[in-house]
Structures are given as structure tokens and as C-alpha cells.
Amino acid sequence: MQRIGVFVCWCGSNIAGTVDVVKVAEALKNEPGVVHSANYQYMCSQAGQELIKQAIKEHNLTGIVVCSCSPRMHEQTFRKTAAAAGLNPYMVEIANIREQCSWIHKDMAEGTEKAIVLGRTAIAKVNLNAPLTPGESPVTKRALVIGGGIAGIQTALDIADAGFEVDIVEKKPTIGGKMAQIDKTFPTLDCAACILTPKMVDVAQHEKIKIYSYSEVVDVKGFVGNFDVTIKRKARYVKEDVCTGCGLCTEKCPMKKVPNDFNLGMDNKRAIYIPFAQAVPKVATIDADYCNMLKNGKCGVCAKVCTANAIDYTQKDEFVEEKYGAIVAATGFNPISMDKFDEYAYSQSKDVITSLEFERLMNAAGPTAGKLLRPSDGKHPHTLVFVQCVGSRCASCAEKGKEYCSKICCMYTAKHAMLTRDKYPDTDVYVFYIDVRTPGKQFDEFYRRAVEEYGVHYIKGMVGKVSPEGEKLIVQGSDLIANKQLKIEADLVVLAAAIEPDKSARPLATMLTASMDTNDFFTEAHPKLRPVESPTAGVFLSGACQGPKDFPETVSQAGAAASKVIGLLSKDKLTGNPCVAHSDEMMCNGCSSCEKVCPYGAITYADKEFRGPNRTTLIRRVAQVNEAICQGCGCCTVACPSGAMDLKGFASKQIMAEVDAICK
Amino acid sequence: MENKQNVCNEIIRRSGVNPRKCMKCGKCSGTCPAYDEMEYHPHQFVYMVETGDIEPLLKSKSIYRCLSCFACIDRCPRGVEPAKIVEAVRLEVVRQQGNNHLKPNDLPEMLDVDLPQQAIVSAFRKYTK
Amino acid sequence: MQVNEYKPKIVAFCCNWCSYAGADLAGSNRLSYPAEVKVIRVPCSCRVNPMFILRAFQRGADGVILCGCHPGDCHYTSGNYYTRRRMALLFSMLDYLGIEKERTRVEWVSAAEGAKFAATMNDFVQTVTALGENKRLEDLRCKK
């Protein structure tokens, strides 16, 4: 039997105004388990807390009920008070007689009666409370950033600058991501490479940062503070620590017809390559699909020309196991495939390109050395048509496009149109748009400049069909304002393709037990208040893997994710929430119902030996809850058909007792 | 007014199209091969039904210019299916007056070398009883 | 006791993150609702076992209302989806047993919806009062 103390707070006149506190204290005295009952003007004050501490010692209390304001207000206060007096803090229950009683009722009798019921309910619960101790777990002071684009780079730099070790895993041979492929950035028109590459160099030179390029995360185990991650280092057939990045091999390799994915296949590279001049790490990589030496055992030119002896044709995939305290997903985005949008003739004509391809065409380091030339015949285009929302806001075509707005297209299309008119005043540039969305600093001004200063023709309407005719592309679209159907003879058509999360995000989310939305974007712990954290503790989100973003937003989110990681890593130990699920092994039948509903993957199964009748042992599969991962929602307790699963602090018996007390 | 709304609701019911899904991008009109033949264009059909302003549509020849090629249905990013609205409006007119709108004798003067055979057959299916 | 003085017993389960905070907000804004409503705090609406609701009816509750975060806003990602499904099943079973559907309800109340919480409770109490005492599931042995 518990020895319970009841403390009724007046809260000045806030409670005492409509609740007869003396009467409440008196009435609750007779409840089972109650040995002491008191009332005081302000329980949360220093003097009020002293009153509680003294009573705990004097009456040897094992449980406390404070009838006061909402537990959301002062539960922590009174728990600390109890702990200071040597009582387990989880033996404290609050009866909310302010927000849910005195403040909403006007009648003294009514308020008093309800306050007594609420007090009785809390007493019924405390009678069944058990002392709880939050688990503690150590924190590995090292972070993993998955993805080496601008989001990953910024997150890693910020974490490393705070003094923690960071590893970046990037699946491509170099970090840099999409930003490295982009020519200029809106709305300031800074050269993307000029602002990105110094950051890449910072990453390479930072003593706290280690880059696993050409690598992938293949397995994640553990939980917040204690992740065990397996990283696959794909064989690049070049010794990373030996290669000097001189590039001689990439000039001498005889395999010249390898599509250059960095330029989106618009030109060719060799079978041994360095993606671009400022690559980090600046190390060559052999494309095993094209290398004659690896395929047929004939050639070996690169090994012969390499003065550093860095080529190693026998290299194998390596698996590295590392421990981390926090993981940041920064897997980024890709433009969607245009293959299914036949109406735009993307697969029929080389002169229909995506915006990212246009970006490479305008880039000085791109396939045309920055000259705007048609991919089909290398001629200078005079009429350009930009089509916005290709695959974005596409609700009916889930197999083709995306229902959401890709957010960045309006601005980069304005940028492309403006740059084209700026460099080549002899061009006619048309932009077909549904809406122009420019919420951002200096964004609308930028778009208006494209129209007013650079004379870009914005047409409210959509392109229905692009058909190649001879050298021209006939673009048929509607002009809704003129109420006309237009047929424009264009030389180049640029499609603002929707963006989607990188394909690697889905399997990664499964490994991390991080949740995703239907579009494969990572979901955040709270859409407004915790936008850079995943609901899975210890997993953070950076950049476009959480939703479409432009650079400034990506960089801010990267910094925010880093600050959350730093907050986590600067703790020596993590104190868990002790109100977690717990399975009674004797009752569990190992059915997996609980595992299926757990949103955190906190439940695992173990085969355990039990003593059977007649000195036999039998092995049964039983559920085990990892208390460090469990967040205490209690979903599993209801799913459990055998009643083995219960939630500490909110046990079924306790809630039933509360129900009984209310209905008494 | 009420009658107009009833007609509209009947067209919506019959076509199974929800005009509120339209985001006014104009891709249907951008894609329509019979655009220049029409007084009102596919995106306007949808808008007129949405706002209930369908009197002019019922009287317009535009509804007979639709080839039922379904390009607008195929390309509409929101799944609005304008051609089905056109079809429903046509039915409304046909049923109202209860007579044939197309007789074989009318054909020769309507024929156009560019007119697909499919459209002629489709027209017979729709306008004669 | 006169008929017009009949006061139902109402149990409200509120999730800690949204609805309980919503109830607190209703209090802070002094939006009144009947004293018959007594709130039990649970971490998530999905913690509410259908057994608790049956228990309440057995012990003489006249109505049970369950409040959680709006779908998609669950603090625990998906808890309220489970609640929605479980309660749909439970309520249809209660309906089959002859317990009026109006005696049970699931409402989504966010932490910002104090007014909605008060309005919901006012409406629910009114509905249950109109139905009168719940006798069908009440276990008379529990009555003193």
C-alpha cells in the first residue's frame, strides 16, 4: 500500500476562486492510500515546495498528488521537488484542477466536485505507480553525414567546426553534388562553382572530416548515440591515397566513348576519369563497365602512364564498420525521368533538353565550353522555349510526374531565360507558365527583371505538344490571356523537370527506420517545430531529401541540422524517457503484432529459454523493447493480443483505475 | 438560375468530371488539335461548367468541333478530362431537342481532307439516333 | 433526482501532445464546457485500448470521447491512424451491441484548437445528455 500525500494548490485565486480548496483537501484525505493532505497558496513557490519536501520526510510518503495547474506547466517542478526529498520523481501525479477545472467553471459547488473527482483519479493512479529510472546510454562523439552535396558539406563543416568528428559518405567519386553541375545561382547570379569549391576544399582539409567518396551506407544498426554503420567502399581501381590527381591517365585512356554523367551524357569521358577539375578528392576512378582491362584483361594503358603507381586492377569492394552518435541524411534530389512525357518529344529530339542539361550547356566547363549550341547540330539557337511544371503539380499522372510543386523551377527558369537574353540578345525566349511562384528575398524582382529588362516573353499557358519538323521544333501551346493557341517554331526547348528525392533515400530510410512521405521525402519530427529532425531519435535531415529547396534554404537547413547534431554529441550520456513499453516475457507469444505497429523499430525478438514442466526447458520467441529507441507512444500495448505489452507510467491498470475513479 | 445550376450538376454527374480539380494551366487547350475551329476552348469548357455559366456553351458550335481524340484527357496533369465534359454537354443538347443533329446528306459539305475518318464515325455515333 | 438534472458521466481520453494541450488552451482562454467531462491524459491516442472504453461503459460512463492529433500530425508519426482504425472497429461493434453511436466519438484537436476542444465537449455532452443514462453495458455489480 502506498503512503500518499495530497497537496492542493490555491494558485492565488486562480483555483481557490471557483474551487473550495479546503474542502477538496479534506475530501481527498479519505481516499485509499492517502495519509496526508494539505493546501497552500502557491505550491510551485519555494515555500510550497518546502512544504512538500517536509511532508515526504515527515510522513514517509511513497507517492504524491499535486492538485494544481496543468502537468504541462509544473510536472517537472514537482518531480524535481520529490527527487530532492529522496522520492522517485515518477511517483508524482498532477491533478489538473486549474486549466481543466477552475478556469472553465463558474460555479463553486460544481468546480469543487470536479476537483475532488480529478484528485481522486490522480490518487487512484499513484496507488499503482512504480518508481521508474530513466535509462542512460553513452554517446559516440562522431557524426555521419550521408550525401556530399551542398547540404552534406555544410552540415559536416558546421559539426566539425564545433569540434566533433564527421564522416561524409558520398556515392559518387567526388563530393559537390548537384551544385557542382550548376552554372549560376539565382537571384544574385553568383557562379555556383566559385562559391561551392572553396567549401569542398575546406571539407578536404578539415582535420575532423573524413570523406568516404564512391561509397554507400549498406547497413545501420543501433540507436541514438550508438549507431553501428557499415559503409561499402566501392572499388575505384585506383589507390586513393597514392593517386595525385594529375589526370594523365584520363587523357591517355583509349576508351573514349563513355557517356559523361557529369554532363548528363551530352559528351563523352574516358573509362578512367576525374568528374571535374575541382573534384574532391581529386582522384581518378575507373568505370568498370567500360574499362577494357577490367572487362577483357587487355589494355593497361593507365597503369603504364601513371607515374605514382596508383592503378590497381585487383581492387575489391571494401566494407568499413564505424560507430556514430548521430546520422544526418543529406541524400538530395534528381530531376525526374522525361521518358514518359512523349508530348514534349524529349526522347525524339536532342534539342529538347532538361533544365539541368541546359545548365551544363551554359557552363564554361560543360560540353560546349559555355557556348549555347544545339546538341543536335551545334548551331546557335535563335528561338528558345522554356516549359515550366513538366511533371510538377501533376496529380493525375503518378506514374509520370509528381503531385507537388518542385519549388525551384520558376526561379531557375527565369535565370536561364535572363542569362540567355543577356549573352545572346539575338534570341527570342518564351516561357510557358501556369503560375510564376517567387516567394523569396529578391525573387520576384528577379523574375520581373527577366521580363522588363531582358524582354523574356512569359506566356500564361501550357505547352501541349512539341513536334520536330526538319531542323525546327514546333511548339504548340495555349496562351490563356490572349485566348489563342500558339505554334512557335523553336530551335531549342528546355523542360523544367520536376525534382524527386534520390533513389537511394528509400532504402536508406528503411535502414534508419526513418519515416518517409508518399513521395519518398523524409518526414520531419514536427512539420513546424522540429523541421530538421526525423521522428527517429538521432537521425537528422539536411537539404532536399526533406523537400524541394533552393540553395539558401538548403544551407540554412544544413546548419540547423548541424546544430541539432552538436547538441546531441555534446552530451556525455543520454537520459531516456522512462515511460517506455515493456513486454512481459511470460505472457508474450512472439506474434510480432507489436513490432509491426512500432513506428521506431524499437521492438526486436529474441529466443529465450524458459523452464518447462518436469525440468524441461523450452525456447520461445519473445518481444524485447529497446528502451533507448522506444518513445513511449503505447501503440504496441493495444496491438498486443496477449496483453504482454504494457507502458511504464501509463500502464493499462493505471488507466483503468483512472477510468474507475472518474465513473465512481 | 436554379435551372442553370441543375443543368450544370447534371453535366458534372454525367461526365463524372470534377471541374474543381482544374488548376487552369491550359494544357488541354495547348494540346487540342481542333482549337482553331472552336469558339470556346477546352479550358473554357471546364471553367464554364465550374462557374455554372453554360448557356453560351450549349448554343455554341464548339461542342461539335471536338474530335474526341482525348488528347486533353491524356495530357491533363490534374486528371480533369475536359473531353468528357464536352461529351456530356453534347448529350445535354442532343437529349434536350431529341432530334438528329447529323444526317448523311450533310456530310459532303462538312468534309475536310484533314478530317480523320475516326472523327466521322465518332460523329455518327454521337449525333444520330 | 429529477430528470432535468440528469448529468452524464463523460470520460475524455486526450493525447499529451495535441488534445491535452488543446484542453489546457481552452482553460487558459476561459472557454467553458460542462464539468461532466473528465480528462485522462495518455501519451498518444493510440495508447487507448478499446478495453478502456468498454471498462468506462461497464463502470457507468454515459459517453466516451477520444481526442488525438490531426491525422498526419501525430507526435509519434502514425499513432492516430491506428486509433482511427481501431475505433472504427470498436464503434461498429458497440453499435451492434446496441450502444448508440453518439455515445462514442473520436475527434482531432490540435494544441492550438482550444475553442474546438470546448465546442466539441459542449456538443458531445449535449448529445449524450439527450440520449440519457447508459444502462446497456453498465455492470450493476459495480454499483454500490
What would the pLDDT profile of A414-457 be if each residue is shown by its tens digit? Answer: 999 999 999 999 999 999 999 999 999 999 999 999 999 999 99
Going by the DSSP 8-state scheme, the letter that residue A574 receives in this structure is E
**Does B30 sit within 8 Å of A464, measured CB to CB?**
yes
Report chain B residues whose CB lies below 8 A from the CB of A485.
29-30, 32, 35-36, 41
* CA pair distance A484, A477, nearest whole angstrom: 9
Closest CA to A138 of A538, A467, A424: A538
Q: Give me the pLDDT at residue B102, please.
A: 67
Q: Give me the pLDDT at residue A340, please.
A: 87
Question: A528 falls in which pLDDT band (50, 70, 90)?
Answer: confident
**Are residues A353 and A345 in contact, defined by beta-carbon separation less than 8 angstroms?**
no
Q: How far is B98 from chain A (nearest CA, A)?
A: 33
Q: What is the CA radius of gyration of chain C?
A: 15
**Are residues A111 and A102 in contact, defined by beta-carbon separation less than 8 angstroms?**
yes
* Secondary structure (H, E, C), A592-633: CHHHHHCCCCCEEEEEEEEECCCCCEEEEEEEEECCCCCCCC
Q: Is A480 on the interface with B (CB under 8 A)?
A: yes
Report chain C residues whose CB lies below 8 A from the CB of A652.
49, 51-52
* CA pair distance B4, B13, nearest whole angstrom: 14
Kindly state whether residue B23 falls inside one of the protein's structural domains. Answer: yes
**Does B30 sit within 8 Å of A463, measured CB to CB?**
yes
Q: Give me the pLDDT at residue B129, please.
A: 52
A2 in helix, strand or coil? Answer: coil
Q: Give me the pLDDT at residue C71, please.
A: 85
What is the CB-side half-sphere exposure of residue A576 using CA atoms within 13 A?
25
**Are residues A588 and A623 in contact, defined by beta-carbon separation less than 8 angstroms?**
yes
Q: Give me the pLDDT at residue A318, please.
A: 96
Closest in B25, B71, B79 to A462, CB measured:
B25
**Does A485 sit within 8 Å of B41, measured CB to CB?**
yes
- Sorted by where each starts, the structural domains of chain A and their CATH numbers stand as 4-126 (3.40.50), 142-228+317-332+502-575 (3.50.50.60), 235-315 (3.30.70), 333-500 (3.50.50.60), 581-648 (3.30.70.3270)
Q: Find, in chain B, the residue whose alpha carbon is nearest to that of A343.
A: B75
Q: Which cell goes with A539?
A: 537521425
State the residue range of the domain holding B75. Answer: 2-99
Closest in B30, B44, B80 to A461, CB measured:
B30
**Does C42 sit within 8 Å of A634, measured CB to CB?**
yes
Kindly tell me whether chain C and chain B come into contact, counting contact as 3+ Cβ pairs under 8 Å: no
Q: Give me the pLDDT at residue B7, please.
A: 87
What is the CB-side half-sphere exposure of residue A605 using CA atoms within 13 A?
14
Which whole-number Å values give the CA distances from A71 to A44, A76, A168, B78, in the listed order?
A: 12, 8, 42, 47
Domains: count for chain B: 1
Closest CA to A269 of A248, A250, A291: A250
**Does A114 sit within 8 Å of C38, measured CB to CB?**
yes
* CA pair distance A179, A176, nearest whole angstrom: 6
Q: Is the pLDDT of residue A329 over 90?
A: yes
Report chain B residues whose CB lies below 8 A from the CB of A345.
none
* CA pair distance A625, A630, nearest whole angstrom: 7
Beta strands (DSSP E) in A288-406 are: 318-324, 326-329, 333-335, 352-354, 383-390
Q: How far is B36 from chain A (nearest CA, A)?
A: 7
* CA pair distance B88, A380, nearest whole angstrom: 48
Domain boundaries, chain C: 7-136
**Does A599 sit within 8 Å of C78, measured CB to CB?**
yes
Q: Give me the pLDDT at residue C2, please.
A: 44
Q: Find, in chain A, the residue whose alpha carbon is nearest to that of B29.
A: A478
**Does A110 sit within 8 Å of C42, measured CB to CB?**
no
* CA pair distance A470, B66, nearest whole angstrom: 29
Kindly state whether residue B53 falls inside one of the protein's structural domains. Answer: yes
Kindly tell me whether chain B and chain A come into contact, counting contact as 3+ Cβ pairs under 8 Å: yes
Q: What is the CATH number of the domain that holds B14?
A: 1.10.1060.10
* CA pair distance A43, A199, nearest whole angstrom: 55
Q: Find, in chain A, the residue whose alpha carbon is nearest to that of C50.
A: A638
Q: Give me the pLDDT at residue C1, please.
A: 42
Which CATH number applies to C7-136: 3.40.50, 2.60.40, 3.30.420, 3.30.1490?
Answer: 3.40.50
Q: Name which of C32, C39, C74, C80 to mutate to probe chain A: the one with the most chain A Cβ atoms within 10 A of its Cβ.
A: C39
Overall residue count recorded for chain B in this entry: 129
Q: Give me the pLDDT at residue C73, please.
A: 76
A and B: number of Cβ contacts within 8 A:
74
Per-residue pLDDT of chain C (144 residues; tens, 9 = 90+): 444 578 899 999 999 988 999 999 999 999 999 999 999 999 999 999 999 999 999 999 999 999 998 887 788 878 999 999 999 999 999 999 888 989 999 999 988 889 999 999 999 999 999 999 888 888 777 665
Q: How far is CA A628 from the centre of its chain?
A: 20
Per-residue pLDDT of chain B (129 residues; tens, 9 = 90+): 567 788 889 899 999 999 999 999 999 999 999 999 999 999 999 999 999 888 898 888 888 888 888 899 989 999 999 999 999 998 888 776 655 666 777 777 777 777 777 777 777 666 665
Between the ranges A88-92, A338-342, A615-619, C93-97, where is the mean pLDDT highest?
Answer: A88-92
* Dihedral angle of Cα A365, A370, A372, A376, to the nearest 10 degrees: -30
pLDDT-above-90 percentage for chain A? 89
Report chain B residues whose CB lies below 8 A from the CB of A432.
30
Q: Is A463 on the interface with B (CB under 8 A)?
A: yes
Closest CA to A4 of A152, A108, A119: A119
Q: How far is A21 from chain B (nearest CA, A)?
A: 58
Q: Name which of A387, A397, A399, A478 to mutate to probe chain B: the one with the most chain B Cβ atoms within 10 A of its Cβ.
A: A478
Q: Give me the pLDDT at residue C144, please.
A: 56
What pLDDT, in 10s, does the model give residues A63-74?
Answer: 999 999 999 889
